[in-house]
Chains A and B, each alone.
Chain A
Amino acid sequence: MSQTPLREVNTTLQAAAKAHSNEPHVIVNARGSHAMAVGLDGPLHVTVKGSTGYYCAGMNKEATVTVEGSAGPGVAENMMSGVVTIEGDASQYAGATGHGGLLNIKGNASSRCGISMKGIDIVVHGNIGHMSAFMAQKGNLVVLGDAGDALGDSLYEARLFVRGTVKSLGADCIEKEMRPEHIDLLRDLLERAGADAKPEEFKRYGSARKLYNFNIDHAGEY
């Protein structure tokens, strides 16, 4: 990235993805640049060496993107499919509004991880920050470490699994029973993410569904 303009990097990657070339590409000297490897539409393997800026792998479809470093805000935002792996930590808004695919964060994720997620699977091997899974609609957020304040505030139908402690739950988010189907789902996700943890160690959190239709007795939570 210290030599090649961003436009050229993305044009090359986007064309290769579209051509289903599936060949490996490496971005070196990432230097925290923004919007790297965005809008990929097809199978392709991209490795980013170094830490990224905002929105790396944004709106990804089918491609496999690995960041060998830490990711800036909004990594894999609105991802549709494919796999995005962060070897280090992820900044705020990781996987925001993602519709599908797997976002695998080996380190910690900061605030608003999985905000407004719409079907994506996110596995965080470390901890997550405050306001994570705010208004999360669909998909699964798995956290091997601890969760910060206001987890799952105004949650819709996304499922949250946390192994460590939860500092506080947000409005309308409650602990729920881990049923066999959840254990199976979690086992599969942990395996795909290469996470060393047992599904039985996790607690499940979900929507109490009290905010689904306006009720005067819950007005204080709006």
Chain B
Amino acid sequence: MEKTPQTMPRQSWTFSNETNAEIRRAAATGIYDIRGGGAKRRVPHFDDLLFLGASMSRYPLEGYRERCETSVTLGTRFAKKPIELKIPITIAGMSFGSLSANAKEALGRGATMAGTSTTTGDGGMTEEERGHSEKLVYQYLPSRYGMNPDDIRRADAIEVVVGQGAKPGGGGMLLGQKITQRVADMRSLPVGIDQRSACRHPDWTGPDDLEIKILELREITGWEKPIYVKIGGARPYYDTALAVKAGADVVVLDGMQGGTAATQDVFIEHVGQPTLACIRPAVQALQDLGMHREVQLVVSGGIRTGADVAKALALGADAVSIGTAALIALGDNDPKWESEYQKLGTTTGAYDDWHEGRDPAGITTQDPELMKRLDPEMAGRRLRNYLNVLTLECQTLARACGHNHVHNLEPEDLCALTMEAAAMAQVPLAGTNWYPGKPGF
């Protein structure tokens, strides 16, 4: 007798093994999953855009002979001392506390060598960071940990953080494992307790109040320093317009792939818009107010390559900012620590329990032994190299499109591979002159 054919065991798409594992984890612990990093789901991204390049109707520039500028000046609207950067790529705000002092030093070293700025985070300014950063942006956050007028005066710019892409509308979080004596002292908190930072600023709410807050910050710093306003990719048209109305010199717009030190996974994966979808509405808001290029737009959230940089600039950004990619350049999630990732129940590339402070690479930790694994000088050079590559790639693409400055990249240099990307970036689907929502068709 032949055996009756059996059905193949079939996994549910809705109840995948990953989903079921999360249900079991929730049932066992009773708390939502907290992790670091940005959205892991696939969303339409810069990969879905291509540059057209130049051939007959436009002429390319010669690679090594003909100059293609990359400099950018941020804060030209009101500040007496705008920030001049050699490259249109900055290092995003990441806190001392979530990162080790060595990691902050490495970011400062790398950024300075590459001619760009780095940014403090939700934990105040450290000497390591100020000392090694030629240009340092001081974040002004709801928690105001370590906030003081001396640091404000020795910063090169102030970034008022209203939201971030990983969690627009959410507050900060740093679990007790990482609150060592030094971190605790800087934040005026006891050692070893969980931190629940507020989602709104303690002394203002809304753009009408923010305008007055910005006035105060300018009066304290003699109207010298650019005031950035950082927003999460939520309602980019309105939020950009309101940041400008409140008096921002620079708008920093962080899409949903932007990282965080720690927050609820449900927040990271389910709140905010993809970076690709945020840029055009923000640029439109600036254009409607007659402020495009007057108020600079810095875009962040999932920037990895020079192509990403060039595409963001082509869509209208003045610069981009990198966080997660910078950490990877320093050595985060490096395969050389695979055996240790395994011990933590994870694997290279997937390690995201940054809040637990057990980072084998010594970056997202305050453990003195783990911290030693990161040599700030070497890591700084790695970041410098990476920033240089991003810049060279971006220049290459700009030259190929016939531009002598990366800022001359424009949406018309692009086409889209998918309908989604065409709609979000408002550039034509490849092979057509149409994108969804384009009027006149």
By a CB distance below 8 angstroms, the chain A residues around B396 are none
Instruction: Please measure, in the bound complex, the distance between the C-alpha atom of A118 and the C-alpha atom of B189, giving whole angstroms.
Output: 8
User: Does B188 contact A118, Cβ atoms closer than 8 Å?
Assistant: yes
- Whether A35 lies near B216 (C-beta < 8 A) is yes
- How distant is A137 from chain B, measured CB to nearest CB, in Å? 5
The reply on B215 being an interface residue by CB < 8 A is yes
Provide the bound-state CA to CA distance between A55 and B209, in Å.
Answer: 11
What sequence of 0s and 1s flags, for each residue 158-202 of chain B, a beta carbon within 8 Å of any chain A beta carbon?
000000000000000001100000000001111011101010001
Q: What is the minimal beta-carbon distance from A88 to any residue of chain B, in angstroms?
A: 19
Q: Size class of A's contact patch?
A: 35 or more
- Taking each of B31, B149, B198, B221, which has the highest tally of chain A beta carbons within 10 Å of its own beta carbon? B149
A115 at the interface (CB under 8 A from B): yes
Which of B148, B176, B221 touches A99 (beta carbons < 8 Å)? B148
- Whether the pair B220, A222 counts as a contact (CB closer than 8 A) is no
Q: Is A205 an interface residue (CB 8 A)?
A: no
The answer to the question of B219 belonging to the interface, with a C-beta cut-off of 8 Å to chain A, is yes
Query: Which positions 179-218 of chain A face chain B at CB distance < 8 Å?
Result: 209, 211-214, 216
For the complex formed, measure the closest distance between the CB of B227 and the CB atoms of chain A, giving whole angstroms: 13
B238 within 8 A of A: no
Contact A116–B176 (Cβ < 8 Å): no
Q: How far is the CA of A93 from the CA of B198 in the complex (A)?
A: 14
A78 and B144 within 8 A (CB): yes
B86 contacts the other chain (CB 8 A): no
Asked if A90 is at the interface of the complex by the 8 Å CB criterion, the answer is no
Does residue A45 face the partner (Cβ distance < 8 Å to B)?
no
Residue of A nearest to B32 (CB): A219
Minimum Cβ distance to chain B for residue A221 (Å): 11
**Which B residues touch A38, using CB under 8 A?**
216, 219-220
A121 within 8 A of B: no
Question: In the assembly, what is the distance between CA of A59 and CA of B202, in Å?
Answer: 14
Chain A residues with Cβ below 8 Å from B204 are: 54, 73-74, 93
Residues of A within 8 A of B187 (CB): 137
Q: Which of A5-13, A20-28, A102-110, A162-170 contacts B (4 or more CB under 8 A)?
A: A5-13
Contact A11 B31 (CB under 8 A): no
Q: A53-B212, A116-B144 are in contact. Are A58 and B220 (CB under 8 A)?
A: yes
Does B213 make an interface contact (CB < 8 A)?
Answer: yes
Chain B residues, CB < 8 A from A96: 202-203
Given contacts A216-B30, A222-B196, contact A156 B216 (CB under 8 A): no
A159 at the interface (CB under 8 A from B): no
Which chain B positions have C-beta within 8 A of A214?
31, 175, 194
Q: Does A135 contact B (CB under 8 A)?
A: yes
Q: Are A55 and B212 in contact (CB under 8 A)?
A: yes
Q: A112 contacts the other chain (Cβ, under 8 Å)?
A: yes
Contacts of B209 in A (CB 8 A): 54, 73
* Cβ A112 vs Cβ B202 within 8 A: yes
**Does B320 make an interface contact (CB < 8 A)?**
no
Checking B30, B143, B190, B219 against A35 with a beta-carbon cut-off of 8 angstroms, the contacting residue is B219
Residues of B close to A209: CB separation below 8 A? 193
* Interface mask (A125-159 → B, CB under 8 Å = 1, otherwise 0): 00000000011011000000000000000101100
Across the interface, A211 reaches (CB within 8 A) one of B29, B147, B196, B213, namely B196
Given contacts A39-B220, A39-B221, A137-B189, contact A118 B144 (CB under 8 A): yes
B237 CB–A CB distance under 8 Å: no
Given A34-B215, A73-B203, CB of A59 within 8 Å of CB of B152: yes
Pair A97/B149 contact, Cβ less than 8 Å: no
* Chain B residues whose C-beta falls within 8 Å of the C-beta of A59 in the assembled complex: 148-149, 152, 220
Check B203–A39 contact: CB distance below 8 A.
no
Q: Are A80 and B149 in contact (CB under 8 A)?
A: yes
Minimal beta-carbon separation of B79 from chain A (angstroms): 14
Q: How many Å from the CB of A192 to the closest CB on chain B?
A: 21
Hey, which chain A residues are within 8 Å of B176, CB to CB? 212-213
B81 to chain A, nearest CB (A): 16
Asked if B212 contacts A216 (CB within 8 A), the reply is no
Residue in A11, A41, A58 whose CB lies within 8 Å of B216: A58
* CB < 8 Å neighbour of A216 from B31, B143, B188, B193: B31
A55–B216 touching, CB < 8 Å:
yes
Extra 4 A-B pairs, beta carbons < 8 Å, given A116-B144, A216-B29:
A14-B222, A58-B216, A212-B193, A216-B30
A contacts, CB < 8 Å to B: 6-7, 10-11, 14, 34-35, 38-39, 41, 53-55, 58-59, 61, 73-74, 77-78, 80, 93, 96-97, 99, 112, 115-116, 118-119, 134-135, 137-138, 154, 156-157, 209, 211-214, 216, 219, 222
26 A-B pairs with CB atoms under 8 Å apart are A14-B222, A39-B153, A54-B212, A59-B152, A61-B149, A73-B204, A74-B203, A77-B203, A78-B148, A78-B149, A97-B144, A115-B202, A118-B144, A118-B188, A134-B198, A135-B198, A138-B189, A154-B196, A156-B190, A157-B190, A212-B193, A213-B192, A214-B175, A216-B29, A216-B30, A216-B31
**Residues in chain B within 8 A of chain A (CB atoms):** 29-31, 143-144, 147-150, 152-153, 175-176, 187-190, 192-194, 196, 198, 202-204, 209, 212-213, 215-216, 219-223
